[in-house]
Each structure stands twice: as structure tokens, then as C-alpha cells.
């Protein structure tokens, strides 16, 4: 019961996550805790003792767990440590575990920065919502600490900036800045095209009504 926690409405068994992490061949020991370094923002953090100095990439660990766990049970951060701190009784001293330097997973050795105004605008929203400084356009929203509740905040802010009919499900379909920017750009182009088509139809209707009125006036005069 002590290892059961509740995050964003989901009840999570920390021991289950720890057992799966230790199945990775590079992991010797691990402990998973819930941290709330930012008030109101609970996150799962995994502390890892590796069997060798050459540790696997965090993206590799996350992919390994993603095949076995739902997204809400995936740790937001992985912290490598030399040894787990213990209490005088020999149990893991969870209170002595260090805070992560930054909640920003190392997803790769290269990170492509935003290339245009649209990508910069999306990145700015992500940075505020996720509370992280650096984001690459190919980083997956859910791989860098995002979850469904934060996605709703992103959706709300995007709708304020871009005047298009954006659905929440679209953000699930396009979880990177690059893919979302391409989608928004295409959606905006299509919407502009629809507007132009609507304006053209309205203009045709106006001209048609004008011609009908002119015809009626001419017919009325002829009848008189």
C-alpha cells in the first residue's frame, strides 16, 4: 500500500514499474518515487544504478518501458546514481534521493531548433506548459514530460493564437512540433481556400440577386 500513489486520477503501483525497469539488462537497481518539485505538478522519477559505466540512453529505457507500460506509468525523468541511499535499517532512504537537475529527458545527441515563426510559437507554448527550456522540433510531447492534462492547456493556448478549428485529438496525432506545424500550416491553407471559395460563392449570389432584381424591374415596366 505504501508504494501505491495516485497521479492525475490514475492509481499507480511503483513496485510494478521498478520490477519492469530492472528487467533491462543494463540496470542493477532502481527505485521510483513521485516528486512534486513544482507545486501541483507530480511526476514519476526513476533512480537507476547501472551495472556498468556505459549507461543506455534514456530514450532507450523509455522505449523499453513503453512496450510494457501505459503512458501514465512512464517516468518523466531518469536519474543515474552510483548507489541507492539506505536508512540505518537497510531500507532505501527515499527522502535522501537527489532532485533531478532538470526535468528534461536526454532524447538524443542532436536537437533541431524551431525553423520558422509557426514552430517558434508552438515551442514557446510547450516550454511554458512543460516548464522546460530547450525543445527540439522532433521531440515527442509525451516523451518530454507531457500528459493529457497538459495537452489540454496546449490546445487552449493554440486555439487563442490560431484561428482554426483545432481538435484535441489532432494534438495526439501530431505530437511533435514539426508534425504539428505542418498540420497547422496545411489546415490554415485549406481554411483560407475555403474562405476564398465562400467569398466567391457569396459574390456570385449577390450578382445573381442583382440580375434577378433588374429582370423583375424590366418585366414590371414592360407589363405597365
Kindly state whether residue 101 falls inside one of the protein's structural domains.
Answer: no
Residue 206 has which C-alpha cell? 449577390
Decide if pLDDT at 106 tops 50: no
Query: Residue 123 is part of a domain; what is its CATH number?
Result: 1.10.1200.10
Q: What is the average pLDDT across 147-171?
A: 86
Residues 92 and 137 in one domain: no
Residues 123 and 224 in one domain: yes
pLDDT at 116: 92
Kindly state whether residue 8 falls inside one of the protein's structural domains.
Answer: yes
- As for how many domains the chain has, the answer is 2
Domain boundary (50, 74, 96) is at: 96
Domain boundary (96, 126, 143) is at: 96
pLDDT at 123: 93
Domain boundary (39, 72, 96) is at: 96
- Give the closest residue to 11 by CA, choosing from 44, 41, 39, 36: 44
Kindly state whether residue 32 falls inside one of the protein's structural domains.
Answer: yes
Residues 21 and 53 in one domain: yes
> CA-to-CA distance for 107 and 218, rounded, in angstroms?
75
Q: How many CA atoms lie within 13 A of 44 on its CB side?
A: 30
- Give the closest residue to 126 by CA, choosing from 104, 145, 154: 154
Q: What is the average pLDDT across 41-50?
A: 88
Residues 127 and 177 in one domain: yes
Sign, CA torsion 195/196/199/200: negative
Decide if pLDDT at 177 tops 80: yes
Residues 74 and 155 in one domain: no
Q: What is the average pLDDT across 8-15?
A: 84
Residues 92 and 13 in one domain: yes
Instruction: Count H helices and E strands in the chain, helices first.
Output: 6, 5
Query: Residue 13 is part of a domain; what is its CATH number?
Result: 3.30.300.30
Residues 123 and 217 in one domain: yes
Residues 129 and 60 in one domain: no
pLDDT at 132: 82
Kindly state whether residue 141 falls inside one of the protein's structural domains.
Answer: yes
Q: What is the average pLDDT across 86-94?
A: 90
Helix (H, G, I), strand (E, B) or coil at 86: strand
CA–CA distance from 118 to each of 130, 158, 159 (Å)? 18, 11, 13
* H helix or E strand, kind and range, residue 47: strand 41-50
Kindly state whether residue 22 falls inside one of the protein's structural domains.
Answer: yes
Residues 75 and 121 in one domain: no
Residues 152 and 121 in one domain: yes
Structural domain range at position 191 = 110-224
> CA-to-CA distance for 162 and 38, rounded, in angstroms?
29
Residue 157 has which C-alpha cell? 493556448
Kindly state whether residue 104 falls inside one of the protein's structural domains.
Answer: no
pLDDT at 6: 83
Residues 15 and 74 in one domain: yes
Q: What residues does 29 pair with on adjacent strands?
A: 49
Q: What does residue 12 show for φ and ψ, rounded to 5 degrees? A: -125, 135
| Mean pLDDT of the residues in the chain | 79
58-66 vs 14-21: helix crossing angle, rounded to 10: 120
Residues 175 and 121 in one domain: yes
Decide if pLDDT at 213 tops 70: no
Rg (the chain; Cα; Å): 27
Q: What is the average pLDDT across 19-33?
A: 92
> CA-to-CA distance for 151 and 221, rounded, in angstroms?
66
117-130 vs 148-161: helix crossing angle, rounded to 10: 140
Higher confidence at residue 14 or residue 198?
Answer: 14
Q: Are 122 and 38 in contact, with CB atoms under 8 Å apart?
A: no
Amino acid at each position: 500500500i505504501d508504494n501505491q500513489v495516485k497521479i492525475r486520477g490514475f492509481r499507480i503501483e511503483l513496485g510494478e514499474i521498478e520490477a519492469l525497469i530492472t528487467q533491462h539488462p543494463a540496470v542493477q537497481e532502481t527505485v521510483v518515487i513521485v516528486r512534486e518539485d513544482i507545486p501541483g505538478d507530480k511526476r514519476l522519477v526513476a533512480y537507476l544504478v547501472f551495472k556498468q559505466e556505459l549507461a543506455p540512453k534514456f530514450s532507450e529505457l523509455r522505449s523499453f518501458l513503453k512496450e510494457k507500460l501505459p503512458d501514465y506509468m512512464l517516468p518523466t525523468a531518469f536519474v543515474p546514481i552510483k548507489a541507492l541511499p539506505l536508512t540505518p535499517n537497510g531500507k532505501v532512504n527515499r527522502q535522501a534521493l537527489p532532485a533531478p537537475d532538470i526535468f528534461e529527458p536526454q532524447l538524443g545527441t542532436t536537437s533541431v531548433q524551431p525553423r520558422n515563426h509557426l514552430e517558434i510559437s508552438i515551442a514557446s507554448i510547450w516550454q511554458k506548459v512543460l516548464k522546460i527550456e530547450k525543445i527540439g522540433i522532433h521531440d515527442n510531447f509525451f516523451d518530454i514530460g507531457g500528459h493529457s492534462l497538459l495537452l489540454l492547456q496546449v490546445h487552449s493556448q493554440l486555439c487563442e493564437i490560431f484561428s482554426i478549428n483545432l481538435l484535441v485529438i489532432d494534438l495526439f496525432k501530431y505530437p511533435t512540433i514539426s508534425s504539428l506545424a505542418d498540420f497547422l500550416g496545411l489546415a490554415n491553407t485549406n481554411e483560407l481556400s475555403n474562405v476564398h471559395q465562400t467569398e466567391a460563392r457569396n459574390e456570385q449570389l449577390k450578382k445573381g440577386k442583382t440580375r434577378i432584381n433588374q429582370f423583375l424591374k424590366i418585366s414590371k415596366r414592360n407589363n405597365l
